Chain A
Amino acid sequence: MKKSRAIYMMIAPYFLIFFTFTVLPVILSVLVSFTNFNMLEFPEWVGWRNYAQLFVRDDVFLIAVKNTLIFAAITGPVSYIACFVLAWIINELPPKIRAVATLVFYAPALSGNAFIVWTLLFSSDSYGYVNAFLLKWHLTMEPILWLKDPKYIMTIIIIVQLWLSLGTSFLAFIAGLQSMDKTLYEAGAIDGIRNRWQELWFITLPSMRPMLMFGAVIQITASFAVAEVAVTLAGFPSVQYAGHTIVTHLMDYGSIRFEMGYASSIATVMFAMMLGTNLLVRKMLSKVGE
Chain B
Amino acid sequence: MTGIRTKRLSRSWAGDLILFALLAAVGYFMALPLIYVINNAFKPINEILKFPPDFFVRNPTLNNFTDLYYLLAGSWVPFTRYIFNTFFIVIIGTAGHVLIASMAAYPLAKRKFPGKGILFAIVVFSLMFSATVTQITNYMTISWLGLLDTYWAVIIPAIGSSLGLYLMKQFMEQVPDALIEAAQIDGCSEFRIFWNIVMPIVKPAWLTLVIFSFQGLWNAGGAAGAIYIYSEQLKTIDYALGQILAGGIIRTGPSMAATLLMLSVPILIFVLSQSSVIQTMSTSGMKE
Contacts and interface: CB of A to CB of B under 8 A. Distances in A.
Q: Do A and B belong to a common assembly?
A: yes
Interface of A: 3-4, 6-8, 10-11, 13-18, 20-26, 28-29, 32, 39, 86, 89-90, 92, 95, 98-99, 101-108, 110-112, 114-115, 117, 120, 127, 129, 132, 163, 166, 168, 171-172, 174-176, 178-183, 185-186, 189, 193-196, 199, 207, 210-211, 213-214, 217-218, 220-221, 224-225, 247, 250-251, 254-255, 260, 263-264, 267, 270-271, 274-275, 278
Interface string B48-70: 00011101000000000000000
B86 interface: no
Interface stretch (B25-33, B71-79, B229-237, B240-248): B25-33
A11 B159 CA distance: 13
B90 to A, nearest CB: 15
Contacts of B4: 182-183, 185-186
Contact of A175 (B30, B32, B208, B270): B208
Contact of B107 (A11, A20, A104, A181): A11
B163 interface: yes
Given A114-B34, A175-B208, A178-B204, A7 B129 contact: no
Contacts of B55: 129
A214 B287 contact: no
B150 interface: no
A110 B107 contact: no
Contacts of A255: 132
B261 interface: no
B182 interface: no
Given A21-B138, A22-B160, A101-B27, A267 B104 contact: no
Given A23-B122, A24-B141, A179-B204, A195 B10 contact: yes
A110 B273 CA distance: 14
A11 B171 contact: no
Interface string B1-44: 10011011111000000010001001101111110110000000
A182 B31 contact: no
Contacts of B138: 21, 25
A34 to B, nearest CB: 13
A175 B33 contact: no
Given A17-B156, A176-B171, A217-B166, A267 B113 contact: no
A159 to B, nearest CB: 11
Given A25-B138, A260-B136, A275-B125, A214 B160 contact: no
Nearest to A183: B287
A242 B108 CA distance: 44
A191 B132 CA distance: 52
B30 A108 contact: yes
Contacts of B53: 120, 127
Contact of B160 (A18, A127, A217, A278): A18
Given A26-B126, A127-B51, A214-B166, A196 B10 contact: yes
Nearest to A5: B190
B201 A179 contact: yes
B170 to A, nearest CB: 4
A99 B174 CA distance: 24
A190 to B, nearest CB: 11
B133 A267 contact: yes
Contact of B104 (A15, A176, A211, A278): A15
Contacts of B37: 111, 114
28 contacts: A6-B190, A7-B113, A11-B103, A11-B119, A14-B101, A15-B119, A21-B138, A22-B126, A22-B157, A24-B137, A29-B137, A95-B278, A103-B271, A110-B263, A111-B33, A112-B263, A114-B263, A132-B52, A168-B212, A172-B167, A176-B171, A179-B286, A182-B4, A183-B4, A196-B9, A214-B170, A263-B133, A271-B125
